[in-house]
Each structure stands twice: as structure tokens, then as C-alpha cells.
Amino acid sequence: MEDAIALAEAMEKAPNVKAALDLYEHGRREEVEKTQHAADVSLVWFEHVDRFWDFDPVQFAFGVMTRSKAITYDNLKLRAPDFVAEVEKSFAKQVRDAGFDVDTQKPAVPLFQPFRLREMEIANRAVMSPMCMYSAKEGVPTDFHLVHYGSRAVGGAGLIFTEMTCVSREARITPGCAGLWNDEQEAAWRRIVDFVHGNSAAKICLQLGHAGRKGATKLMWDGIDRPLEEGGWDVVSASPLPYFPDSQVPRELDRAGMSAVRDAFVAAAERGERCGFDMLELHCAHGYLLASFISPLTNTRNDEYGGSLENRLRFPLEIFEALRAVWPSHKPMSVRISATDWADGGINGDDAVAIARAFAEAGVDLVDVSTGQTVRDAQPVYGRMFQTPFSDQVRNEARVATMCVGNITTADQANTILAAGRADLVALGRPHLVDPFFTMKAAAWYGAESAFCPPQYLPGKDQIFRNSVRDRQDLEELRIKAKPKTRAELKAEATKPLAAE
């Protein structure tokens, strides 16, 4: 019917039939593709419904209703508030069963339920995603980084991730990348960690990585992944394959080089522990060094580190196990993976499950599920929450805790993902870039009074919570006015004039 109306309108507006058909095509294609994409996502859910058989029935039902991402937590709450109240109680009971003392009768929304990894407890499930800032000086974080991480921690995020912090000078992506290979860098990171711990309830995770063949490149705003024209350094990878045809050809890492890289990771982790970081993440995604070993598109070796997935995982697992050996046993570790290369012959979702299981056996506590950026000719399928299905698959097939990321922009979307059991934590990148207080604003909207706020900012918290109560009341009044009348209400209205007479 919508297509027919659009075609009629196009015929009325255009001077001739061909122009009308062109106008119709241009106007309707995007909407149709959205509908088709939602149908595809819905189909995938039904094709893999066995992932959810052991879910609580209420959570299962919520997953069915939100499977295509067309319906989300907030608009379902407008349609069926009593049902969503049961969803909130069901989620809170899971949190209580995990050992937390939470209210299960009037629970907080999923985003503001606590979570535990080993002995690290976080107050909410909102995470600031790791994002490179390209603003360090010879690897040393500056005042920019102190404000950047400190403000997001004060803004209420439960967990803060550092940008990819490079384990050596040669491991950097760009000259502006942060590092942790000398005392000056260690002191700068310790200052940031101390500020986060002293002024917020946030926990902070150190992400360690090595750029591999994507190193010695320009700052993002000067040409992302483009090779430096001067001042570069030698780069290494699993195999001697350049990223761009005109990129530097990396040296294939030999066993001596692998040992040196492993030792650099271990030294950086030991520095990270001295800084006081709460958690450690190993970056094995986005085509960087360790990811280049995992993907068959970038690993063409014929030794024990190439060929099968088991062999391709050998070196990344070696690094992880070496880190786990020196990282305190009470502190958690995560790994970031690319769950698909978005390219024929590359990593896919089933491979991601196997990768996650291998790291889980090595002691990983959380899998940070990202995708792509492995090869230049990849064809990613973008959209809101576009990487969440991979987190869903890894979480519910590998049976390991996951963090999802990727075009997640609202607290509503985060609640949808969590309540449906598609991830345990939700990382937001760009929303945090423009709004350090993203989480505090979400806490106010959902009435999460327990959200931590520094005493200096309490008047602001009080005001936004008061205003949000009024805003929610206004929304509820609109909902009631727009709610379709029941048969009984219509009948009562129809007979009311007769009764008055």
C-alpha cells in the first residue's frame, strides 16, 4: 500500500512516466531495503533459535519481539509496559543469582544492573569503547588524555577502555599513538588511572596491541591507514602482504621476532599493573599484528603458525597465556576479536565461536566482539547495532561473556541488547566522544538513582533527575492519549448519551 501511494504521488509530481518511475525508485528503495534487512535479521534469529532454548521464557519472548531491531526496549515499553516490567524483573533475578543484592520487584533497567568479572565489579553495563585518539607525544599520554578519560569516568560509565596502547615504539599505528614501554609513559598512565579511581566509580581497562602491517601510517585525520611519507619505521606481520598496494611491505615475523613481541607485551602488562589498571585487554582484531595471524586472508604461512585455525591461533594464544601468567589472577582479562572479515575466504561467525572458545580455555573472561578492518576490499554490512549479531552468536554458542560494539547510539538500544541476552556489556564509542555524561543522562531518564556522581556535580544530578521525572510523565500522558480504546471503552462511549437522556 505504501508503494502504491508513493507511485501515485510520483506520477502526480513528475512531468513524464520515466521521470516518475525514477522518482519512485529513488524514494522507495531505501525504505524497502530497510524492510528487507530487518527481515533478514529476523530470519537469522529463527534459524538459530536453538541458541536461546535455555533462556528464561520472559527473556526468550523479549528476544523474539526485538529480533529484527525494528522494535526496541523503549517502544516496546510504550506498547506493553506490563510485559517489559516482567522483563526487567527477569533480568534482575539473573543478576541476583550471580551474587548481587539487587531489587527484583522494582528493579533498575538492564543497563544499570551491576556485573562482575573475576573480582572486578562494575556498577553498570555502559562501557566507553576503546578509541584511538592519536594525540600522544612519543607514546606519552598528555593532558588531553587525562581530560578525555577522566571526564567519561566522571560522566558515569561503568567501565572505561583505553585506546590501543602500543607495546613498543615499532608497534604504533601512527606517531600519535599511546604506548607503555618506558617510565615516562607509565607515570602518565598512572596519573590517569589515579584520577579515574579517585573521582568516579568507574573501572578502567588497559588495551594492549601491536599495529603489525598497519603501522607507520598517518594520523587518522591526515589519511587513515595511509603510509607515512617520511619518519616511518619497519613493520611486521604474519605474512609479507601490504595493506594497500602502495603500503610498506611488512617483514614476515620469525620465531625470534615473535619472542621479542611476546616479551614486549609482558613488560607492558607489568607496567599496567603498576599503574593500577583494573583489567587488561589483548587486541586481536582489525587486521593488526595478532589479527593478521588469525585471518587466512593475511596469514599465508606454511609453518606451524599457518594453515588451520588452530595453527593460526597459536601465536595470539601464546601472547595471551604469557599475559595471563603475569596479570594478577583476581583481575579479569578480555580479548578483542574481529568476528568476521566481511570478505570471502575470511573469518566468519562460526570461526569467531571457535576463536572465543580457544581464548576461554586459556582463561579469558570477556570477548570484545568487533568486526572487519582486516583487508581493504572488505564489504561490511552497516546499520544500527550492526555487529551485535556476532556478539549474540559468540555469547550463546561459545558460552562466554561478551561485549558488543558498533553503531550503538542510545541507552534504549543498550537495554534492548542486554535484555535479549545478546551481550553482557555494551560499548559505545562515538556517543561518548560528543557526550562525556552519556551514562548519567541515561541514568536520569531511567530513574537509576544509585548512579555515582562526584559531590562537586551533585546539584546537576539532582536537577536532571527531577527534570527527567517530568519528561517521563509527559511521555506517559502522550502514550495514554494515543492508546487505542478497548471494545469495552468504545461500547461505554457509545451508550453514554443514551444513559444521560
* Alpha carbon 338 to chain centroid, angstroms: 12
Q: Which residues contact 210 (CB under 8 A, 6 or more apart)?
A: 166, 167, 168, 171, 261, 264, 265, 283, 288, 289, 290
| Catalytic status, residue 288 | yes
Task: Determine the 3-state secondary structure of 358 from DSSP.
Answer: helix
**CA distance to 2, 112, 118, 350, per residue, from 418 (Å):** 33, 10, 20, 22
Contact 156, 451 (CB under 8 A): yes
CA distance 477 to 480: 5
Contact 337, 367 (CB under 8 A): yes
Contact 282, 206 (CB under 8 A): no
- Structure-block grid coordinates of residue 29: 528503495
CA distance 343 to 377: 7
Catalytic residue among 24, 73, 149, 288: 288
Exposed / middle / buried, residue 89 (Cβ in 10 Å: 0-12, 13-18, 19+): middle
CA distance 441 to 431: 12
CA distance 3 to 314: 54
Name the amino acid, one letter, at 200: S
Name which of 296, 177, 175, 170 is nearest 236 in CA terms: 170
Name the amino acid, one letter, at 75: N
- Structure-block grid coordinates of residue 253: 615475523
Contact 271, 166 (CB under 8 A): no
Exposed / middle / buried, residue 92 (Cβ in 10 Å: 0-12, 13-18, 19+): buried
- Structure-block grid coordinates of residue 270: 607489568
User: Cell match 527477569: residue?
Assistant: 90
CA distance 391 to 292: 21
CA distance 315 to 321: 10
* Alpha carbon 98 to chain centroid, angstroms: 23
Name which of 344, 342, 341, 366 is nearest 356 in CA terms: 366
Residues designated as active site: 288
